[in-house]
Structure 1
């Protein structure tokens, strides 16, 4: 699950800013689970753009993610990276590529007017859900699915417990972010009036890639895999069609 481009960008960014990332105290379990969730979301996108080589990909809260480079979509795919203006400026500096940069707060109305609405579209939201207050994530998805013709949504879903517990993780505390609530039932987004239908829920504790996790993270993850409720408190990928 190596990503040499991401490592290069991270090294450049750390050198340029002088930020001490060690103070985030990121644990091996978080590194492994984050890499795995990224891979699983990449897999959903690859499948979609293979089926729809003229598709649109909308990456919400893309940050400095190297997803476009990892997925290598066909030339007919239009890719949109959406994030705050400060972040899109950094992307243009550190990750110049063929994606369209949409500099906006995703909770602002009408920004989706910049997107094509006549082609199959996949929306991906990795790590975004718990950082949007109240029901704003629902509103963002509803805005998109109402405007866009048809497509899919893929995200890593947080249970209410997982979203609550995030505020006690050292990296989150260091950034001063208050996590919002998640949701437990994977069918809940079907009740957001966004036209969503659940395609699949992947509990990543049960993914074959766990075999590559370092010990003792691997053993602990396999132990959690025996219980669905515990697995949902870890990382899960939720895939919908609209």
Structure 2
């Protein structure tokens, strides 16, 4: 008998992004090429009976998920290459295979942060040398588990719109208070994008609503977290768009002509602290 997954709707979003990466890996021209995610999704479906097909992922979500993961991987790789003793903090890690994709040097201390139920699932299906931190990221105490004497890169992939109120900025302040210096990288949802996300068929299938976002990429500089914007990547203009399937490629290139419209899609924001 399959052993059903026991995740709440927010936690279940990890299966949505896992499946998106899995589907990308089987595309004729993969963006991320994460074959480990494809094998992982197949194993979970076999063990638990989970029907990934019910998520009804559209090509646009598959490509945007894969592309933002690739760009955030690039941030991590550059940072650990420059700081081989760095700390990596992967917030809301879910079942992401980022550690294996980035293959950090031995001196890097990698911390995977997510709910206890998620990390139990991760230990079952995706054991790796990272340090698991079982916590609700909106709670204050867990940041004390992180080393405070080494440069750090903090990654938040898809986390922002699922945290209520001002909890994301509060969490960022706690992290930058704890960590000596480094970078924060996230995919930055605008307020409209966060609002509209809850109407996406794949999100509606999980029965959850999205929460917050921000329009001005400089807004986090006003969070009293010591952040300075160093890069805004509008992913509609990324060279990898050439590998998108049609008609997603044509529509993305049309949107890319407008900065305002491009910001409503996927963008990667990078800050120094």
Give the TM-score band, short-chain normalised: over 0.9
Q: Give the TM-score normalised by the residue count of structure 1.
A: 0.99
Tell me which residue corresponds to 2:264.
233
Q: Secondary structure at the match of 1:7?
A: helix
Tell me which residue corresponds to 2:10.
none
Distance 1:51 1:75 in 2: 14
Tell me which residue corresponds to 1:67.
98
Tell me which residue corresponds to 2:243.
212
Distance 1:240 1:26 in 2: 31
RMSD: 0.6
The alpha carbon displacement at 1:181 in A equals 2.1
Match of 1:41 among 53, 72, 76: 72
Distance 1:179 1:22 in 2: 22
Tell me which residue corresponds to 2:187.
156
Where structure 1 has 5 or more consecutive residues not aligned to the other structure, the ranges are none
The alpha carbon displacement at 1:73 in A equals 0.7
Tell me if 1:26 matches 2:57. Answer: yes
Tell me which residue corresponds to 1:169.
200
The alpha carbon displacement at 1:235 in A equals 0.1
Match of 1:201 among 232, 237, 240: 232
Tell me which residue corresponds to 2:214.
183
Tell me which residue corresponds to 1:12.
43
Tell me which residue corresponds to 1:84.
115
The list of structure 1 runs, each at least 4 consecutive aligned residues, that deviate by more than 2 angstroms after superposition, is none
Q: Secondary structure at the match of 1:102?
A: strand
The alpha carbon displacement at 1:109 in A equals 1.2
Distance 1:149 1:177 in 2: 36
Q: Give CA-to-partner distance per residue, 1:89-119, whole Å, 9 cap, x none.
A: 0111111110000001001111101010000
Where structure 2 has 5 or more consecutive residues not aligned to the other structure, the ranges are 1-31
The alpha carbon displacement at 1:173 in A equals 1.2
Tell me which residue corresponds to 1:105.
136
Count of residue pairs brought into register by the alignment: 242
Distance 2:179 2:109 in 1: 14
Distance 1:27 1:178 in 2: 19
The alpha carbon displacement at 1:85 in A equals 0.3
The alpha carbon displacement at 1:178 in A equals 1.6
Q: Secondary structure at the match of 2:112?
A: strand
Q: Give the TM-score normalised by the residue count of structure 2.
A: 0.88
Distance 1:110 1:52 in 2: 26
Tell me which residue corresponds to 1:140.
171
The alpha carbon displacement at 1:159 in A equals 0.5
Q: Secondary structure at the match of 1:199?
A: strand
The alpha carbon displacement at 1:176 in A equals 1.8
Distance 2:183 2:51 in 1: 38
